[in-house]
Amino acid sequence: MNYFSLERKSPEVGFEEAVRRGLAPDRGLYFPKRIEPLAKSFFDNLHLMDSVEIAFQAIKQFVGAEIPEVDLRKIIAETLTFEFPLVHLEEQIYALELYHGPTLAFKDVGARFMARCLGYFNDRSTNKESVTVLVATSGDTGSAVANGFYKVPGVDVIILYPSGKVSEIQEKQLTTLGENITAIEVQGTFDDCQHMVKRAFLDHDFDGKRQLTSANSINVARWLPQMFYYFLAFKEVKLEERPIVFSVPSGNFGNICAGMMAQQLGLPIHHFVTGTNANDVIPNYLRTGTYQPKPSVATISNAMDVGAPSNFVRIQEIHNGSFEKLKQNLSGYGFTDAQTREAMEYLYSEKGYIADPHGAIGYLALKEYQRNEPETLGIFLETAHPVKFLDVIPKSVQESITIPKSIKSVLSKKKKAEMISTYDELKQYLLSN
C-alpha cells in the first residue's frame, strides 16, 4: 500500500515510511492511495469472527506486505487485550465504552498498535538509529502514547502538553513514567503545542541528528486502527434492522475519520454525528459552508479543545472535496460546559450511567440528531474513564465513581516535566539532549 500527501507535493511512500515520517515533507497528511471495500462474505460472517480476525481483515490492506501476516496478527493481538463494552441505555441508544485499556482512554488502541509497528520496523532495520516520537496532546493522547511506547527499544518519546489545560490525572499519567518518556509543559494552548510539533518535523536542522515522527492521529498507524471500534460495535448490533448512526465527540477528528474509513471498507454505517464543545469549527462549517479555524478555548471537555482539527482534511478527501457529500454523511453540534454538566447529571440520575464530559457531548449530539431521525439506532462513543475528570464532573456524580488501582498508584508519583514557551526552546532541547 502506498500513501500520498494530501498537499500533493511529496513523493508517495510505503506504510513504514509513512509511519516513520508521520507528516509528509510538504506538511501534508498521508492518505492511502486506494481503498478496497471488503467482501460481502466478510460482513455476513462478522458475528463468527473474534476481535483479532476482524481487526486483521480491516487493517491488512493498509499495511500491505511490509509486515508479514503472522507478525501483523501478533501486533493486533497485543493491541486488543481489553474489551469494548456496548452498554444499552435507551431503546435506540447505546454507549460504546472505549476506556478499558491501560490508560483508560480510547487512544490506547492506536498508541499500542503504532508502538508495536514501529518496534517491528526497528527490530528488522539495519540502521539502529533511534527514533524520536514527538507528540502534542490535549489530554489523553499523551498518556496513551507514553504507556504504549514505554521502554520500546530504539524509541524516545517527547510529549508536549498545554500547561494548566489537562486534568491532574492526565498530567500525572504522562509526566511520571520516566525511562524513554519525556514530558514538556508548554505555556500556551494545545494548538500551540501542535504547531511546534509540525514545525519541528519540517526543520532541516534536525537532519542527521534526530529522526522525528509523530504519534498524534496525523500518523497513519495511530489513525487507522481506530477503525476497529466501529467494526466491533457493528458485530454486536448486526441483527438490528434500524439504520446505524455513530456519534463521536471530536477534537482533532481522527476517531470519526477512522469510522468513515470503516464505512469506505463497506461497513454499513448510515450516518455520522460529531459533537464538539465551544471549539465548534466543524459544526459551524456544516451549517455555513465556511471553514474557519480559530484559536482554541479551554473547556471541561479538554481533549476536544482544538481550534484547527488536523484530520478534517482527510475527511474532505474521503468525500472527494464535496461539501454536499459531506453534509449527507455528517451532522455536527456544539455544546456549552453548562449543557455538558447537565447531560452528565441527567445520565446518572435518569439512566444510572456515569459519563465523562466527552461522552456526555457524544450523547447530546446523538439526541439532537435523532430528533429528526427517530428511526435510527444510535451509538455514542465514551472515550475516557470518568475518573480522569473528577475536577469537572458534577459533585452529585463524583461519589459514585470508583478510582481504579492504576490511577491510585500514579497519583502518588512525582511529576517531572520541562517547561517551555517557544519553538526555539523546544528546538534547543531536542538538539542538546
Q: Return the C-alpha cell found at 70.
A: 503472522
Is residue 127 very low, low, confident or very high in pLDDT (cuts 50, 70, 90)? low
Contacts of 175 (CB under 8 A, 6+ apart): 183, 415, 416, 417
Give the pLDDT confidence score for residue 11 in this predicted structure. Answer: 97
CA angle 354, 355, 359 (to 5 degrees): 165
- Mean pLDDT for 254-264 is 98
pLDDT in tens, 28-75: 999 999 999 999 999 999 999 999 999 999 999 999 999 999 999 999
Higher pLDDT: 413 or 240? It is 413
Q: What is the pLDDT of residue 215?
A: 84
In terms of pTM, does the model score above 0.85?
yes
Candidate ranges 49-58, 137-146, 302-311; pick with highest mean pLDDT: 49-58
* In the predicted structure, residue 129 carries a pLDDT above the cut 80: no
Higher-pLDDT residue of 140, 183: 183
Position 291 scores a pLDDT of 94
- The whole-number pLDDT of residue 205 equals 93
3-state secondary structure of 373: coil
Rounded mean pLDDT of 339-345?
97
Residue found under cell 514530558: 183
Share of the chain above pLDDT 90, in %: 75
More confident residue, 139 or 242: 242
pLDDT band at 170 (very low <50, low <70, confident <90, very high): confident
Average pLDDT over residues 298-315: 93
Res. 225 pLDDT band, cuts 50 70 90 = very high
Distance CA 325, CA 303 (A): 28
CATH for the stretch 83-105+222-402: 3.40.50.1100
What's 54-110 look like in SS3?
Answer: HHHHHHHHHHHHHCCHHHHHHHHHHHCCCCCCEEEEECCEEEEECCCCCCCECHHHH
**Active-site annotation holds for 165:** no
- State residue 109's pLDDT score: 96
In sequence order, the 6+-apart residues with CB closer than 8 A to the CB of 304 are 138, 249, 250, 251, 276, 277, 279, 358, 361
Q: Considering the candidates 107, 172, 367, 388, report the single residue annotated as catalytic.
A: 107
Mean pLDDT on 287-311: 92
pLDDT of the residue at 78: 96
- Judge whether 111 and 215 are in contact, CB under 8 Å: yes
Backbone angles phi, psi at 182, to 5 degrees: -120, 130
Instruction: State pLDDT tens for residues 368-401.
Output: 999 999 999 999 999 999 998 988 999 989 989 9
> Average pLDDT for residues 315-339, to the nearest whole number?
98
Confidence of residue 10 (pLDDT cuts 50, 70, 90): very high
Cell of 247: 456519534
Task: Count CB atoms within 10 A of the CB of residue 66.
Answer: 17
* Buried residues in 94-130 as b, exposed as e (16+ CB within 10 A): bbbbbbbbbbbbbbbbbbbbbbbbbbbbbeeeeeeee
Residue 359 C-alpha from the chain's centroid: 14
pLDDT at 280 > cutoff 90 = yes
Tell me which residue of 313, 301, 245 sits closest to 273, measured CA to CA: 245
Measured CA to CA, the distance from residue 158 to residue 145 in angstroms comes to: 10
Q: What is the pLDDT of residues 13-28, one digit of tens each?
A: 999 999 998 889 998 9
Residue 45 to residues 51, 54, 219, 233, 238, Cα–Cα distance (Å): 13, 10, 31, 14, 10
Q: State mean pLDDT over 299-303.
A: 92
What pLDDT, on a 0 to 100 scale, did the predictor assign at position 409?
A: 83
Q: What's the pLDDT score for residue 250? A: 96
pLDDT of residue 126: 66
Q: What is the pLDDT of residue 128?
A: 62
User: CB within 8 A of 372, min separation 6: which ones?
Assistant: none
Interatomic CA distance for residues 105 and 144, integer angstroms: 7
The confidence score (pLDDT) of residue 255 equals: 96
256-280 mean pLDDT: 97
Q: Please give the average per-residue pLDDT across 74-103, as a whole number.
A: 95
* Distance, CA of 99 to CA of 85 (rounded, Å): 9
Nearest alpha carbon to residue 359 among 375, 348, 370, 372: 348
**Distance between CA 394 and CA 225 in Å, rounded?**
33
Domain residue limits, the chain: 83-105+222-402
How much is the mean pLDDT over the chain?
A: 93
**pLDDT reported for residue 403:** 85
The predicted pLDDT at position 327 comes to 97
DSSP string for 153-168: TTEEEEEEEETT-S-H
